[in-house]
Amino acid sequence: MNKTEFSCIVNNNASSLRSHALQFTKDIDDANDLVQDTLMKAIRFFHKFEEGSNLKGWLFVIMRNTFINDYRKTTKKNALITTEEEITYANLSHSATRNVAENKFMMNDIQKALDRLPKVYRDPFVRYFEGYKYHEIAEELGLPIGTVKTHIHQARIELKKNLKNYKNDAYYRA
């Protein structure tokens, strides 16, 4: 059997694959994507299919494995990228440990974003980031506690703007 004949046979199973994919994803668009990925992998690796064996079973195994692998990738990606309001050392250091090269780029971007902050925002934010309490920062800088909170809040807003690529996951798509 050649690749074209195999493609036709595989495509005839698309409807049964779709209903099976819907059980995994619970979403029609995601199910269609999963079916498409499954069909593409089956056609790409058609030479590994043994004629006379259960084609539908083979396709279901490909689908299950594709779904599991995609789920693991998504879970890892979401664990590495924080979307929380708080920008804390724990969140940034966890995401920065994924890859040494990515870590270096990310830390450079964070440092550049911090350097762009006005000094009145940067100093209280850095101290807060290091773990100091609001009242300790206020005391050290000789500012009212409300001003310290406002400056830290403004620093967060500016950092979010300057680091929005990380929130939108642009650096983690492959």
**Gap between the Cα atoms of 105 and 48, Å rounded:** 41
Residue 69 near residue 48 (C-beta atoms within 8 A): no
82-116: pLDDT as tens digits: 555 555 655 555 555 555 566 677 778 888 888 88
Higher pLDDT, 93 or 59: 59
6-52: pLDDT as tens digits: 888 888 888 888 888 888 888 889 889 998 998 898 888 888 888 88
- Domain final position from 23, 48, 80: 80
Count the domains in the chain.
Answer: 2
Task: Provide the CATH number for the domain around residue 131.
Answer: 1.10.10.10
Note the pLDDT of residue 74: 80
Name the 3-class secondary structure at 143: coil
- Which residue spans within 25-146 are E strands per DSSP? none
Query: Radius of gyration over alpha carbons of the chain, in Å?
Result: 25
What are phi and psi for residue 45, nearest 5 degrees?
Answer: -110, 30
